[in-house]
Amino acid sequence: MKARVLVLIGIILGLVISTASAQEQPMGAGFAAKDAPSPYLLGVQPQDQTLVAGFATKAPVLDGKLDAGEWKEAARINFDGSDAIRPGVTGPDSNTIGGPNKDGFQSAEDSSVIVYVMNDANNLYIAVDATDDVLDFSMTDVWRNDSVEIRVDGNFSRRTAKEGTIWGHSIIIRGDGGAVGSAPAGDLASGAAVKPDGTGWIVEFRQSIAGFAPVIGFDLAINDRDTPGQDNRDGQYRWNGEVDAGWDNETQWGELTLAQVTAGLDSSKWELY
Ligand SMILES: [Ca+2]
Ligand SMILES: [Ca+2]
Ligand SMILES: [Ca+2]
Ligand SMILES: [Ca+2]
């Protein structure tokens, strides 16, 4: 208990000091988010990313193209791997093996994504619109190429070792649609294609939500390969997961609330006479 009080006093003192020093700074001086003290130092658990899916009135076509209006009902998030802060975490183990980008951080021009998430009564739909300055799909292992790992824990079991089935998987989809890895057996599908102007790639994914919990585990890992001849990718960053090993650990994934599907009668529309 004493220790807690001391920690609290420490936090309060820290706030007072940082407020005082902030007042001494010229307007707009600020500091980058990645320079802020780590929440771990204060003993606070980092907050998982959460998202509420949009409701899809029409199923998208999984062809690696975002047609006008196709994803307009989706919840939209965007992130890059420019720091270790959510969303878009680049962890200490996301460095390359012998590549030029050793700290793992990447600018938005190097790699960044806009992600669309929606569902209807039958399926979860996800689109990943990736910007990438150099495209490379030359490796046999799908995860070594420009690709996305889509992680879905449909029963929200949050197992420390993922189930490896439709109830907890991390499917890997290559950005050009040329290969898919770690796909569980079940009712799911994907499509992908390089953008016509060569500035990135688009992946579209669908999975049946039959039997899913109202809130499910969800994460995305973006793999960027830019260096020909290099064994590994140049980097990986994730919407929520802190470390690369999150591919196998459902507790590392964020939380997605599925859009409520209207069922039966809607009492607000009943006529009272
Ligand atoms: Ca499409
Ligand atoms: Ca890149
Ligand atoms: Ca699970
Ligand atoms: Ca790349």
pLDDT for residue 105: 82
pLDDT value at position 96? Answer: 54
For residue 248, the CA-to-ligand 3 centroid distance in Å is 11
Q: What is the pTM of this model?
A: 0.79
The per-residue pLDDT for 66 is 98
Q: How far is the CA of 232 from the centre of ligand 1 (A)?
A: 30
Domain-wise residue ranges, the chain? 2-42, 50-257
Mean pLDDT, 10 residues at a time, the chain of 273 residues: 50 44 36 41 64 97 98 97 88 56 78 98 98 96 96 97 97 98 98 98 98 97 90 88 91 96 49 42
59 alpha carbon to ligand 1 midpoint, in Å? 9
Place of tokens 């951080």: 105
Distance 133 CA to ligand 2 centre (A): 5
CATH code: domain 50-257 is 2.60.40.1190
What is the CA(132)–ligand 4 centre distance, in A? 5
Question: In whole angstroms, what is the distance from residue 99 CA to residue 132 CA?
Answer: 16
DSSP 89: B
pLDDT at position 103, please?
Answer: 58
Q: Is the dihedral of CA 192, 195, 196, 199 positive or negative?
A: negative
Distance in Å, CA 247 to ligand 4 centroid: 20
Pick from 109, 107, 118: nearest CA to 76: 118
Q: How far apart are the C-alpha atoms of 168 and 241, rounded to whole Å?
A: 15
Q: Which ligand is closest in space to the CA of residue 152?
A: 3
Give the per-residue pLDDT at 34. Answer: 40
Of the ligands numbered here, which is closest to the C-alpha atom of 205? 1
Q: Say what the pLDDT of residue 95 is.
A: 52
